[in-house]
Amino acid sequence: MRALLYRDHTLTLQQDYPRPVLPAGEALIKVSQVGICNTDIEITRGYMDFAGVLGHEFVGVVEEISHQQGASTPHALVGKRVVGEINAACGKGTCPYCQRGMPTHCPERTTLGIVKRDGAFADYLALPVENLHVVPDEVSDDEAVFVEPLAANFEILEQVHLKPTDRVIVLGDGKMGQLAARVLALSGCEITLVGKHSDKLLLVEHLGITACLVENVDDVIQHGRRRVDLVVECTGSEQGLELALRLVRPRGTLILKSTVATKSNLHLAPIVIDEICVQGSRCGPFMPALRALRQKLIDVRPLMSGRYSLDDGLSAFQYAQQKGVLKVLIHI
């Protein structure tokens, strides 16, 4: 099969890469479409030391399922259009993290296109059956590609109790920041999206979300007198983290959403002095994301910047790294 392979610090398009071999309980999925995520780009810069096929934001059709020994009944998922949770836990009954209902933190997990499991920039991928979710007919392939990153932002609502009277700032007007602002707006909170790009900030103004250029953010918090209850940091930069700590009120919460290769030398004293709660936030629940897309509560279509074929995948990655570009889709 064809596959975009990252190995030896180089991304190449392979024409004869081997198809996945299915362990029992896993599905072979013919990939339809994949989105390029910032994490994919960060991997090419050294994040996670991954080597293999990149890609984890996908939609595809189940072609085959490897049954447990002795099972012969065709599985209901065969032929269905699906998206998939990207973390595959060990499945061992003795794993303390899986026993506690924390499979995304299983120490022996593999992660699609990120940790020890080939990803979605290929004709086929493999995932455990329990990771798969059927895509409703009302959700297009273009929209379905956003389910995984959208779910990652619904995770914020799982981690933090937001009151409708809370004030929230989302830092970063890129792909993750755009999705975070849209998800948090469903809570009824006062949301402000802070970024560097006027054209990107315009994408949220019709949603009741306040848009603010970063140089004007002091006006939002009235020069420190009205710091906010929650800051969601989506820039992945040291400067963004420093700004987040300046914006969040004492005993407020800082959510970290970015996964980047660069290291930070952040001064941690403000976290102690202001008793700030810092919460890492990664993968999240797929069902709320699918429901929001099916009910048209969130429109992701304005976030699409380009579309390429898999054969032009190298060009797609180059384009995705240009300034101002949001989601780039690769059609398989």
> Which domain, by its residues, includes 120?
3-146+300-331
pLDDT at residue 260, rounded to an integer: 67
DSSP 21: P
Residue 25 lies in a domain: yes
Tokens of 312: 């032009």
Same domain membership, residue 160 and residue 29: no
Same domain membership, residue 176 and residue 90: no
Distance CA 25, CA 103 (A): 16
- pLDDT tens digit at each of 332 positions of the chain: 999 999 999 999 999 999 999 999 999 999 999 999 999 999 999 889 999 999 999 999 999 999 765 454 567 999 999 999 999 999 887 899 999 989 999 999 999 999 999 999 999 999 999 999 999 999 999 999 999 999 999 999 999 999 999 999 999 999 999 999 999 999 999 999 999 999 999 999 999 999 999 999 999 999 888 999 999 999 988 889 899 999 999 999 999 998 766 777 778 898 999 999 999 999 999 999 999 999 999 999 999 999 999 999 999 999 999 999 999 999 99
Residue 294 lies in a domain: no
Distance CA 124, CA 114 (A): 16
Residue 253 lies in a domain: yes
Instruction: Find all residues with CB under 8 Å of 114, minimum gap 6, and list them.
Output: 39, 43, 48, 50, 56, 86
Same domain membership, residue 7 and residue 140: yes
Task: Give 151-163 pLDDT, tens digit per residue.
Answer: 999 999 999 999 9
CATH number at residue 46: 3.90.180.10
Same domain membership, residue 186 and residue 139: no
Distance CA 131, CA 83 (A): 8
Same domain membership, residue 271 and residue 308: no
pLDDT at residue 74, rounded to an integer: 64
Residue 199 lies in a domain: yes
Quickly tell me which residue has 């180089």 as its tokens.
10
Same domain membership, residue 164 and residue 118: no
Total domain count, the chain: 2
**Residue 29 and residue 84 in contact, taking contact as beta carbons nearer than 8 Å:** yes
Residue 40 lies in a domain: yes
Same domain membership, residue 124 and residue 240: no
Same domain membership, residue 142 and residue 156: no
pLDDT at residue 72, rounded to an integer: 47
Same domain membership, residue 66 and residue 197: no
CA 296 to chain centre: 19
- List 34's β-bridge partners, or say none: 58, 330
Residue 132 lies in a domain: yes
Residue 295 lies in a domain: no
pLDDT at residue 39, rounded to an integer: 94
Same domain membership, residue 156 and residue 140: no
CATH number at residue 275: 3.40.50.720
Distance CA 190, CA 174 (A): 20
Same domain membership, residue 139 and residue 8: yes
Element (H, E) at 41: helix 38-43
Same domain membership, residue 137 and residue 36: yes
- Kindly list the distances between the CA atom of residue 32 and the CA atoms of 5, 19, 203, 249, 329, in Å, as whole numbers in the listed order: 18, 15, 27, 45, 11
Residue 75 lies in a domain: yes
